[in-house]
Amino acid sequence: MRTATVEEVIASIDAAAQRRPGGALAFDGDGTLWSGDIGEDFFTALLAARRIAPAAEEALFREAREHDVDASGTAVDVAHRIHAAYLAERFPEERVCELMTWAFAGWARAEMDAFADGVVAASRLRERLHGETCDVVAWARARGHDVFLVSASPRSIVQAAARIVGIEDANVVAATELRSVEDVVLPAVERPIPYGPGKVTRLRALLGVRALYAAFGDNAFDVAMLREAEVPVAIRPKPRLVARAPEVPGLVTLAPR
């Protein structure tokens, strides 16, 4: 991969927009717009508060048993073990993204959203933003291009983070929990979540056949979305994305700021 400046990437997007007016840009969140993982921030804050509701407990125990994780003790104990198994690469990444979303089963929507706002504030997200990526977001918004944030983290926390970078709720594509008619979280998610090929499926549901001028990501699960874009851009790429770079023609690395 060659390294490109913000100005070079913007010039490439401008050229794509001239060829096919009416398109958009898509950005991953964790590792791309900011450092760290806000989905994990959200989940670990839930565990620290010991606020797993009874509605989520049996589903957590079932996940543990299905993946050979010790299911003894409280739901919080089991959730900690699942998280540790994921970090040790003994629990599927896409499945843990789903779990971190429906772990709020039993919460009302407004309660979950308020909790997310508090986690974003406590995580000092503004200090974790990647300047080079946010510069492209600001430029795109100033030019009137639609900007989408596509993340496998839970919708509540992704929307709270998106507001920090100026992306409206309607343009957030995230893991979304199912809800009851009373607007209470259920222990299930809409599938596919925006992970791997699911990123393209969920983004296209909003974007339709419009051009995807550029996509920005940092890891292997962004490959499908990067391949969908006319200008694919890696942001401080993780080794897993570097290893798969040959699968994405024209992939460049954006010079950090």
Q: pTM value?
A: 0.96
Q: Do 145 and 79 sit in the same domain of this protein?
A: no
Q: Do 44 and 73 sit in the same domain of this protein?
A: yes
Q: Do 197 and 107 sit in the same domain of this protein?
A: no
Q: Which domain holds residue 234?
A: 2-37+129-254
Q: Do 147 and 240 sit in the same domain of this protein?
A: yes
Q: Do 182 and 220 sit in the same domain of this protein?
A: yes
Reference 222, options 161, 148, 151; nearest CA is: 151
pLDDT at 1: 86
Q: Do 231 and 143 sit in the same domain of this protein?
A: yes
Reference 131, options 222, 32, 220; nearest CA is: 32
Q: Map tokens 């979305």 to a residue.
A: 225
Q: Do 204 and 108 sit in the same domain of this protein?
A: no
Q: Do 93 and 190 sit in the same domain of this protein?
A: no
pLDDT at 137: 98
What is the number of domains present in the chain?
Answer: 2
Q: Do 13 and 109 sit in the same domain of this protein?
A: no
Q: Do 9 and 68 sit in the same domain of this protein?
A: no
Contact 27, 148 (CB under 8 A): yes
Q: Do 73 and 109 sit in the same domain of this protein?
A: yes
**In b/e form, how buried is each residue of 105-132, taking b as 16+ CB within 10 angstroms?**
bbbebeebbebbeebbeebebeeebbeb
Averaged pLDDT in 10-residue chunks for the chain of 257 residues = 96 97 98 97 98 97 97 98 97 98 97 97 96 98 97 98 97 97 96 98 97 98 98 98 97 96
Residue 230 sits in a domain of what CATH number?
3.40.50.1000
pLDDT at 223: 98
